[in-house]
């Protein structure tokens, strides 16, 4: 019976060495984010982008040419300062000192060929847009109701509900009833007869 080959046992943390650089498939992924802005007020040959603050005009021009094969005639840049706020950075909840968020940089390019935006969809149900805004509104209402100054604010929602109910009562669309009937409580119990207490018939001892 032939003996099994004597293979050298590799250490547990051993891994196959990578291929040389010239034999690898080079994939370069961008380390930045560029956002195309919907600008219906601009001519078709203009497009605006939100770009990183470190971007310059040559970077954007080279990016559009190499990635999308789009020729650019001219680039204009603008740094937009943000408003002073007390919110915490990175979208965290809370209330902090006055600060100015990081500025945003916008670039507008003039293209050699016109670009027309596709029509905006009218049905957003595939993206659950209504669900997103409803959840966001509920979260904002919860934060406002439990904020540090919530006790100092007037109950605007309760006022609106009372005004709507008063309007329905005046128009005869709703009949008024006590709160205990609205809640389904049964307070229509027969009156209890007062418990008759017999007066003590003990007479005082006769006076001598």
Q: Give the pLDDT score at 119.
A: 85
148 falls in which pLDDT band (50, 70, 90)?
A: confident
| Residue 205 pLDDT greater than 90, yes or no | no
Which residue intervals of 19-105 are DSSP H helices?
Answer: 57-68
Fold of domain 33-81+100-118: Alpha-Beta Plaits (3.30.70)
Is residue 184 pLDDT above 80, yes or no? no
Q: Where are the domains of the chain?
A: 33-81+100-118
The answer, yes or no, to whether residue 96 has pLDDT greater than 80, is no
Measuring CA to CA, which residue among 137, 77, 76, 72 is closest to residue 111?
72
Q: Are strands 46-51 and 72-80 parallel, antiparallel or unpaired?
A: unpaired
Look at residue 182 and tell me whether its pLDDT is greater than 90.
no
Q: Tell me: pLDDT of 103 over 90.
A: yes
pLDDT at position 152 is: 85
Cα three-residue angle 117-119-124, rounded to 5 degrees = 125
Question: How confident is the model at residue 195, as a pLDDT?
Answer: 59
pLDDT value for 43: 92
Measured at the alpha carbon of residue 85, what is the angle toward residues 83 and 86, in degrees to the nearest 5? 175
Report d(CA 33, CA 53) in Å as an integer: 11
């Amino acid at each position: 019976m032939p003996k099994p080959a004597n293979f050298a046992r590799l250490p547990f943390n051993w891994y196959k060495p990578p291929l040389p650089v010239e034999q690898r498939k080079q994939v370069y992924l961008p380390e930045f984010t560029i956002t195309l802005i919907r600008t219906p007020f601009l001519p078709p040959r203009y497009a605006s982008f939100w770009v990183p603050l470190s971007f310059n005009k040559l970077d954007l021009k080279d990016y559009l040419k190499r990635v999308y094969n789009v020729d650019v005639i001219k680039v204009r840049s603008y740094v937009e300062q943000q408003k002073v706020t007390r919110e915490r950075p990175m979208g965290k909840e809370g209330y902090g000192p006055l600060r100015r968020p990081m500025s945003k940089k916008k670039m507008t390019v003039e293209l050699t060929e016109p670009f027309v935006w596709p029509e905006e969809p009218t049905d957003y149900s595939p993206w659950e847009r209504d669900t997103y805004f409803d959840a966001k509104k509920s979260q904002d209402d919860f934060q406002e109701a439990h904020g540090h100054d919530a006790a100092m604010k007037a109950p605007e929602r309760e006022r609106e509900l009372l005004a709507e109910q008063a309007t329905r009562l005046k128009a005869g669309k709703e009949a008024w009833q006590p709160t205990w009937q609205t809640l389904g409580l049964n307070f229509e119990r027969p009156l209890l007869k007062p418990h008759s207490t017999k007066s003590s018939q003990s007479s005082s001892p006769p006076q001598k």
